[in-house]
Amino acid sequence: MKNKLLVFLLFSFVLFSCKNEKQANDDNTSQGNTAVVEHKGQAAVEDSESDANALQVAKSLDDFKTLVAAIEAAGVQDAVVNTGPLTVFAPVNVAFDKLPEGTVENLLKPENKEQLAFVLKNHVAPANFPDTQLKKE
């Protein structure tokens, strides 16, 4: 019984001594660092040597302005840039224009962020689907 208690106490000590979250928070506040980083995921990584990811391509083309605005409003940038294989079904501005009037504007509102994120994440498939496989016969 004493051995079990000793092992438990030793394990608890090791477990809690490894926790340093409070210390990390204290370090940040003591430096007077009050800047808030809005995005820390894969989408924030800048890499000029690799092929452009789906979000970078969308940002570079005028046909995807509405999609890019929606991705940023929903905060789902990482969903379209994560390592693959990954297929993004990216609707162009004309597709958004065909939605009932007010739909896009309503989805872009901050209070509808979760709903917009759900819709956008359903346009990302965690697999590689070549265009030849997606063509309707």
pLDDT at 97: 96
Q: What is the CATH number of the domain that holds 80?
A: 2.30.180
CB atoms within 10 A of CB 71: 27
| Cα distance between residue 34 and residue 44, in whole Å | 20
pLDDT at 13: 45
pLDDT at 7: 44
Question: What is the span of the domain harbouring residue 107?
Answer: 2-134
Greatest extent of the chain over all pairs of C-alpha atoms, in Å: 73
pLDDT at 105: 96
pLDDT at 126: 86
Number of domains in the chain: 1
Q: Residues 91, 50: contact at Cβ < 8 Å?
A: no
pLDDT at 130: 84
pLDDT at 98: 96
Ranges of residues in the chain whose predicted pLDDT is under 50 = 2, 5-27, 29-37
